[in-house]
Amino acid sequence: MRLVFALFLSVAGLVYAAPPATAPIDSPTKRPVVALVLEGGGALGLAHIGVLKVFEEAGIPVDIVVGTSMGSIVGGLYASGYTGSEIETEVYAINWNELFSEKGPSQDESWLDRHERYRYALSFGFDRSGFSLFRGLLSGRKVLSLMDILLLNQSDVEDFDKLPRRYRAVAADIQTGLPVVISRGRLADAMRASMSIPGAFSPYVLEGRTLVDGGIVCNLPISVARSLGADVVIAVHLADKEPKDNWEKRTALELLSRTLDIFIAQGVNRELPLADYVLTVDIHGYTALDFSLDREIVARGEEAARSSYEELARLAQGLAREERPAREVLAPIEGVVVLGGAPAIAPGSGAALKAVLGALHRSHGLGSSSPRWIGLGSTAISGST
């Protein structure tokens, strides 16, 4: 969330599960419910990936994941069944410059589309409300498309309590200024709404509410984890242990960014006492914009966790190890149905998943009118604009 001023000024339904007859609710062998809370911070939030890798190595079980902004993205992937190492692999494959650009890649863009795009200095959106300019530097369409692809295995899950790990994303209602805890719907939508950094990304409309980055109201939502009934709450806090000095010589933009940091930190400090264990990652020397330094930031998180490994191992000993099933591997795609456009690939081709999705994006023009929804059916991938 430190990205805001740097760029421009930059619920859940109650779910009851009866305990098994052989394991009464007060059974002394019942394992405590463990919640993991991940803080927002733009590129700094990539440090969570390194932390997750060490947590898994130490044997810490996680039942609930709660996150804000980048914490909600890493947390959402983890809640969907990805391991820390799998998330790391996917992140290193991202072309950040392309992801944070509104222009479509030239190799996926027809000559006519490219010619038309260069004719205009501004792009307008059009919906039921009429014409409008983008309300941020980025629409976030590419981020949403990427999340759709990565979360294809969970595209049919609408209740976040039904994910491999229960999940909540925190956003902010721009009209009321109140936090919004997202507990159901499309997982990609929840993650996108939580990272709608004002001035950087357009606000995201979800269920009639206009949502922005949750960091402005609750950047480390430990209280949300508590409200979900967690017995043990582990929080990952991102902190600069050597903040800058000589502020009288800083630029106006730096001063504005620092002002927002102070505001967000006050909220974080109110939440920290609610956690049972806090792992602090020192992110000194990096900024929320340093996505190109993803490997270094992930390593910083891993180093912080490894420096506390003995303590983490002792914590894990008090919690029974739990073997979770491996994330489901998608079978070869045998056919595609595209709603709202021409088929991108012939049915029965047995194409690989990435090839199918790449064809869908090229067919619909990722830079301008990318598929709004991608989901996995029993026999096909479906796209809808």
Nearest CA to 214 among 271, 253, 266, 174?
A: 174
Query: How distant is the alpha carbon of residue 15 from its chain centre?
Result: 24
State the pairing for strand pair 336-339/232-239. Answer: unpaired
* DSSP assignment of 163-220: SSSEEEEEEEETTT--EEEE-BS-HHHHHHHHT--TTTB--EEETTEEEEEGGGT-SS
CA 263-78-385 angle, to 5 degrees, is 90
Residue-wise burial string across 262-293, b where 16 or more C-beta atoms lie within 10 A, e elsewhere: eebeebbeebeebbbebbebbbeebbbbbbeb
Amino acid in the structure at residue 74: V
What is the spatial distance between Cα 218 and Cα 193, in angstroms, rounded to a whole number? 14
Q: Are 44 and 241 in contact (CB under 8 A)?
A: no
Burial class (CB in 10 A: 0-12, 13-18, 19+), 31: middle
Nearest CA to 238 among 178, 305, 292?
A: 305
What is the spatial distance between Cα 76 and Cα 148, in angstroms, rounded to a whole number? 12
Nearest CA to 218 among 73, 69, 5?
A: 69
Whether residue 69 lies in the annotated active site: yes
Active-site residue, from 63, 213, 257, 370: 213
Please name the residue that has the structure tokens 């997750």. 52
Per-residue CA distances from 196 to 119, 175, 241, 362 (Å) = 29, 14, 27, 25
What is the spatial distance between Cα 194 and Cα 214, in angstroms, rounded to a whole number? 5
Active-site residue, from 10, 63, 69, 202: 69
Whether residue 213 lies in the annotated active site: yes
Q: Please, what is the end-to-end C-alpha distance for the chain in angstroms?
A: 30
Residues classed as catalytic: 69, 213
